[in-house]
Structure 1
């Protein structure tokens, strides 16, 4: 395993699975990382056919809300984020994506610098058919503030309550993520 891939494997091992599906995704991801060093996207949309993504979820813990954008290519409500460049650390990618897509300097102060969640998803939309292994990072936001998303990536953005049972047209794992996030915020004493 090359050093960049080993770093990702170490990060994946820090994630405490919330449910059986996340446990399966973590095990599948660790097996994949152990079997290849070809984990960084080199050509759009799908070379290699499975690659790493850092999602960056803007969270207002006091308001118990998350900010999502309507992604132009996927036509889904998604957090900001994107594919890691070859050799890029996932946290660096998360920071870069937050700066590019939200125009902010991200504060990884909701739960720290480790990702909260991991998913393996077959993509949909214009660039469908490849798999994204997504590390879900949290950054601090403020629901009372307006955030301007990159218009080249998103058509609009809006806040959603964490307790929302379903967000229409979202990442298929988003309802599970919200349950894990709400539980994590309650345990930390920052959620409602």
Structure 2
């Protein structure tokens, strides 16, 4: 399917199923949100990477306008629906302040891969343990997809966007596994180095080498 959607380019990556809270303050996007909510129509969030609007993005729907301030600024809740690909950006939409795009929706395989995912989930928990961070993952393990945990894996913006461009669940899981296999040894090494530095100068009980063996 090919259609026109209003777009709200942002320097983030949004995934299908993700809940995203936004504070809307620019006039063009206040207009976009007001119209989308009134007409119950979704809009697109293409990612902005390296100061460029990218080809891929996620269609989102407004689930709630939490607050409208006196100056028209808004706090809203949204939810990701599906991945789209930009075919053409319409920078000036007649009678509108915001821009739009002609998009299509490439086939996206999202079937659960429970056994494969468990390895990634274990890796992410190890990452969080080493970094001493706590992030709640709200779904049970057996219901999690790559989209649910991608933001928990310590990916850069560029890496999160690369993941968005992968349109099969097994490919996304493999991407996350490679990422974790790369960074976990590095982080563990840094933690060991920190421990050595902190021990330097302390009184330490160490057994001497025995020459009589």
- TM normalised by structure 2 equals 0.25
Higher RCO (CA-CA < 8 Å; seq separation 6+): 1
**Which structure shows the bigger proportion of residues in helix conformation?**
2
Q: TM-score, normalised by structure 1?
A: 0.27
